Amino acid sequence: MGETPPFLANPETTRESIMRATYLALCEHGYAGLTIQRIAESFGKSKSLLYHHYDDKDELLLAFLQFMLEEHESSVPETADDDPRERLDALVDAMLPPELSAEHRGFTAAMVELRAQAAHDERYSEQFAEHDRAFQDHLVDVIEDGIEAGTFRDVDAERVAEFVGTTVAGAMTRRVTGGDDRAATTARDALESYVEQVLLADDTGADT
């Protein structure tokens, strides 16, 4: 649980250090146990300093959520000239890596916990709505490109993208809140067969 995602491995500014400390504290203690004191301990500085950089805990946590979503968004691959099906797989992999390292488990758990706050905090839900929208736009792009290229059938790209996004969200949640990690691998396999049978244009190779 001590590993750090690459995007905050080498913080350069003080604020980035605080974001990193917040992340570590969140992974270790969970959202319910996320206190200023514990963030300060991960930070290695006094908690007063946190108030020097942020007005209050609320602002810090909101900034942290925004930081996490932006960094995650920027980790989405931007391959424009590949096979549409491979590009689709790459997008799914970005959210749902096939093997769940301790590092990525911590990240996903943090995201799931933050997302749950959106149920009662409109500012959180706005952030996640925006994030979901951005990811879905990427999916739509890939699917529409695939349709134009003739690789995919002429489906409603918007609807398919929302479906894929929803399944990915479910797999992210389940893989850190259920007993084991089956959900994610099954979701990836199932999405693949879904793509094969619903999305792919011709030469159906359904073997299962």
Partner DNA sequence: CCATACTGATCGAACGTTCAGTCAGATAGA
Partner DNA sequence: TCTATCTGACTGAACGTTCGATCAGTATGG
Residues engaged in binding DNA (CB under 7 A): 14, 33-38, 45-49, 51-52, 55-58
> 15 — phi, psi (to 5°)?
-60, -40
Please state, in angstroms and rounded to a whole number, the distance separating the CA atoms of residues 16 and 167: 32
Those residues whose C-beta lies under 8 Å from the C-beta of residue 78, and which sit 6 or more positions away, are: none
Nearest to 182 by CA among 191, 193, 171: 171
Beta bridge partners of residue 200, listed in sequence order = 152
* Smallest separation (angstroms) from DNA to the CB of 61: 9
Site string for its own copies, 101-140 (x = CB under 8 A): --------x--xx-xxxxxxx--xxx-xx--x--------
Beta bridge partners of residue 152, listed in sequence order = 200
Among 13, 32, 202, 205, binds its own copies (CB under 8 A): 32
Which residues here bind its own copies, judged by CB under 8 A? Answer: 29-33, 109, 112-113, 115-121, 124-126, 128-129, 132, 155-156, 159-160, 162-163, 165-171, 173-174, 176-180, 182-183, 186-187, 189-190, 193-194, 197-198, 208
